[in-house]
Amino acid sequence: MATETQPLERKTRRAFIWTSVLKSPLFTLQAILAFILHKELHATPFQLALFFALKPAVSIFSVYWSALIHKRPDRLKANVILAGLIAYFPFFLFPVIKSSWLVITAWGLFWMMHRGIIPAWMEILKRNIPPGARQRTFSYGTSLSWIMMAILPIFFGRWMDIDADAWRILFPIMAFLALGGMIFEWRIPIAHNPKEEAREPVSSKETLLRPWKNALHLFKTRPDFMRYQMGFMLGGGALMIMHPALPGYFCDTLKLSYVELSIALAICKGVGYALTSRVWASWMDKLNIYRFSSIVTILAGLFPIALMAARIEIAWVYIAYLAYGVMQAGSEMSWHMSGPIFSKDEDSSSYSSVNVVTVGLRGLFAPFLGASLCGFFSASTVLLLGGVLCALASFQLGHASRRSQLTAD
């Protein structure tokens, strides 16, 4: 058995790591796309609000992409590869794009596909890699990706400070590099039982309703999973409320250059992520997922407080994003691994798909709420409100942790 599973684990691990590394330069550019819209394409406040809303909101549609692999292991690999082709193609059009709307559309399509393949990737990792090694593989791959995102921003930022249109060339180059990950994805062997190949005809109506039926079924039958979703919904929604306040706060109040933005958004965040990802992976083996996630959300609540201190000393921007990177490492570990953890011996794609759905649901209102609040209150007030909501999320998850311990006892 060991000799059979080792090639599966080795090839899957290699594919996940190389895919993570090769797409990281494109993700580096994604981090400053909002500021490109604000500074270079003069996007309106509504366009910026829509921009921030799309990243989570398109998850509503992502769930239909991920639904294609429900109990269909034969589709896992194709699901990942085809989604990459669709996600990266619009960036090759950036040299000729002049409209903010087209950039926003490309952004939305990218995140719809990126979210859509998460259940497929998590199921591949679950099938091909044992639990302990699974967290380490995820941690190692994402840490390397964040290290890359910490190295590249200075180069990108300096180029864009010299040539404001450099982004038009950088995006297609980095999209081409990201396509290289498909070479490794194509070589992934998928471990599955032949009995899983049984196919039942599904009507169009059933195709549309099945993701929502699966979500409702899990919420009804798995209250433990629902409590997790409630905490993560509140904490994630708080971060979304904060984001519309950031471009104006950084560009107009703090007057940061692209280099300074890149240092904060990518280098500091990347260093925080890379330094602590393995620590989070170790903690996940020792803490229940509620306690683990409550630590994540309390760190998220400290982020706006540090940003406020940047009015006095700009170094606090870097400290804030260093802490954000630490939080992000734990958040991604919790969000991605929760499906395999809660599913146990079941197919994990349904659980991971619910994660995608809830991201989409909060994306329908939280960024617009944040943008609306910015019209009535200062950016500082909106950011601090997000911090309070993060603290409430941490309290809810802590309560769920105590409840799960009492149930276990």
pLDDT of residue 199: 53
Sign of the alpha-carbon torsion through 110, 116, 118, 124:
negative
State the amino acid at position 395 in one-letter form. Answer: F
pLDDT of residue 206: 65
Q: Are 20 and 178 in contact (CB under 8 A)?
A: no
Low-confidence ranges of the chain (pLDDT < 50): 1-4, 198, 408-409
pLDDT of residue 205: 64
Each residue's pLDDT tens digit, 117-166: 888 888 888 888 887 788 788 888 888 887 877 777 777 777 777 777 88
| pTM, rounded to two decimals | 0.71
Name the residue with tokens 């760190």. 299
Q: 190 φ, ψ to 5°?
A: -105, 115
CA distance 374 to 379: 6
CATH 1.10.287.1080 is right for the domain spanning 2-188+208-408: no
pLDDT of residue 292: 92
Q: 8 φ, ψ to 5°?
A: -60, -50
